[in-house]
Amino acid sequence: MAAKHTRLELTWIGKDERPRLEPRILLEDQDLSYHSKARVARGDIYDNILIQGDNLLALKALEREYTGRIKCIYIDPPYNTGSAFEHYDDGVEHSLWLSLMRCRLEILWSLLREDGSIWISIDDYEMPYLRVMLDEICGRSSFVASNVWQKRYSRENREAIGDVHEYIIVYAKNPMLFKASRNKVPQTPKQLEVYKNPNNDPRGRWRPIPMTAQAGHATAAQFYEITSPSGKKFIPPEGRCWGMAESTFERLRTEGRIYFGKRGDSQPNVIRYLSEVEGYAPWTWWPSDEVGHTDQAKKEIHALFGRQQAFDTPKPESLMKRILDIATNPGDLVLDSFAGTGTTGAVAHKMHRQWIMVELGDHCRTHICTRLRKVIDAIDSGGVTNDCNWKGGGGFRYYRLAPSLLDKDKWGNWVVSKQYKPEMLAEAMCKLEGFRYAPDPEVFWIHGQSTETDLIYVTTQNLSHEQLQFISNQVGDERTLLICCSAFRAKPDAFANLTIKKIPQAVLHRCEWGRDDYSLIVKALPGSEPEADQAEEGSSEDIPAADSTTDAVTPSPARRRGRPRRQSSTMQELPLFANFDQAGDA
């Protein structure tokens, strides 16, 4: 019998198949990281992050450190329309598109703060399915709005019905907190035109606001007669009431806040000064004259990169500014895992928001890096530069995903990749085992911790009973230590304060090793099941993880604000990488 479904859900081929993602570490490319030569403003932010690599693996790499920390997520994923773009091939079969988007959205949702929100650009083709899938992942009650962006200002005549809009779907982790913390939309120049000062009021420009309201919930105090300066009398129209009690009206009249028209004989209006208006509550119609259009976006990109090799589907900076105006404040953390040309980071930077961006293609280096350098150096004068009064400053760090921890040797066995240096292996094992990588330069066996008393030590040595006894004595009775090593010569439960695991056997079945691409591109999608792990946990084989023997560890990177740069420092006593010719069993 078919399984009974207990809830309404969207189904598709392969929905129950989920990738076992490897939590990679991030390696900084200091040649591509960039910072301003001097601090320009007090709010300059230098710890922004740009990651080149598969965005699903990058999100997995960020998951532990950034869960519950992101204020606003914006993504503009490939729309699965079948259109051929130079930098994106978005013609992914429908079920595969849903599966790959689901994996990303689940991680993204976990990264949001309690008052955070996720904003997703999408078109008509996948929007209905995306909404249902988001209801499953986020909860239907988390839905906030489906904003309609007018992407074209001219009529589209090539289709049966012209396509002139896209959607920006919004879900909030806690809709009530989002409503309480979201910002109002600043007035546009066109909206400001209605504020005038015909009577030279010293309080500045103002506009009249009608005084009547619907009478459905009115009190008796809202029904009264008003006499204008000309002697003309007014009562509310049928079905309406005055919007305030008579006592409030008389106070405003005394303050000069009631307007009866030029001749003093018109129905009363309340005077609203421009200085009192914080902005407008956001609504779902976003016209091109307020937030820009695709032609404007292309002109911005052409100004930065020229007309050759420019993206076909960029978003205008003014559109991103509208989103960040509503959802964030200066200093908040913004994430875009489909960075494209880097519009999100460029606008966030100009608005003094901290940002993280991820992009797979080489244009992460050729386009996004170039664009951000221009923003930092105040060479980019387009987009929202003037609106933000941007003068340059700040910086970012450029990271690449580390290679897979495990690789197959010439016999087809999984071994630690030779690309992994000692500190890389230590950090990778910390991430796999749920520890924070924090090597102690004074204590060789402390590479990280999950709590103040629960520690981890990573080495490719074959540890003897005497070495384990020495470590156990140093750990003491108040702490516990997880040791990840190539082999050991002792009973696994011989030391009450030690847990001993062999690598790579202990992690063989945790992840899909050796897979670097989960991108939303047809040619990158797997055509068959990954090969089964060939080595069994508990094997006594040693791990070829380095080409040379070393007597010291170098896992302590120099610390500065944000993530560490990879610089060597000395650790002592037991080497992390030992001579692999030594024999031994556990």
User: Cα(382)–Cα(298) distance, rounded to whole angstroms?
Assistant: 12
CA-closest candidate to residue 347, choices 292, 409, 274, 420? 292
User: Cα(177)–Cα(113) distance, rounded to whole angstroms?
Assistant: 10
Whether 488 is covered by a domain: the verdict is yes
Whether 1 is covered by a domain: the verdict is no
Please give the residue range of the domain that contains residue 38: 26-186+281-401
Is the domain of 226 the same as that of 351?
no
Is the domain of 328 the same as that of 459?
no
Whether 180 is covered by a domain: the verdict is yes
* Domain's final residue, options 340, 369, 401: 401
Is the domain of 469 the same as that of 544?
yes
Is the domain of 384 the same as that of 509?
no
Q: What are phi and psi of 327, to 5 degrees?
A: -95, -15
Is the domain of 373 the same as that of 445?
no
Is the domain of 251 the same as that of 351?
no
- Cβ neighbors of 383 (< 8 A, separation 6 or more) are 300, 316, 317, 318, 346, 347, 350
Is the domain of 110 the same as that of 247?
no
* Domain's final residue, options 351, 386, 401: 401
* Domain's final residue, options 367, 401, 435: 401
Q: With beta carbons less than 8 A apart as the criterion, state whether 58 and 401 touch.
A: yes
pLDDT for position 105: 97
Whether 11 is covered by a domain: the verdict is no
Is the domain of 492 the same as that of 418?
yes
Whether 352 is covered by a domain: the verdict is yes
Whether 14 is covered by a domain: the verdict is no
Neighbour order of strands in the sheet with 436-437: 436-437, 448-449, 454-458, 480-485, 498-502
> Tokens at residue 237, please?
């129209």
CA-closest candidate to residue 574, choices 484, 443, 450, 453? 443
Cβ neighbourhood burial of 145 (10 Å; 0-12, 13-18, 19+):
middle
Q: Running along the chain, 586 residues long, what does each successive block of 10 average in pLDDT? A: 65 88 97 90 88 96 96 90 49 77 96 98 91 96 97 85 93 97 89 90 94 92 95 94 96 95 93 91 94 89 76 86 97 96 96 96 92 95 94 96 95 94 96 96 96 96 95 97 95 93 94 88 44 38 38 36 41 39 38
Q: With beta carbons less than 8 A apart as the criterion, state whether 448 and 430 touch.
A: yes
Q: With beta carbons less than 8 A apart as the criterion, state whether 519 and 77 touch.
A: no
pLDDT for position 364: 94
User: Cα(285)–Cα(245) distance, rounded to whole angstroms?
Assistant: 34
Whether 151 is covered by a domain: the verdict is yes
First to last CA, the chain: 48
Q: Domain containing 31 — which CATH number?
A: 3.40.50.150
Rama region for 427: left / alpha / beta (φ>0; ψ in -120 to 50; rest): alpha
User: Cα(437)–Cα(458) distance, rounded to whole angstroms?
Assistant: 11
CA-closest candidate to residue 112, choices 146, 76, 138, 143? 138
Is the domain of 182 the same as that of 193?
no
User: Cα(243)–Cα(258) distance, rounded to whole angstroms?
Assistant: 13
Is the domain of 575 the same as that of 444?
yes
Is the domain of 373 the same as that of 262?
no
Number of structural domains (the chain) is 3
pLDDT for position 93: 72
Is the domain of 72 the same as that of 206?
no
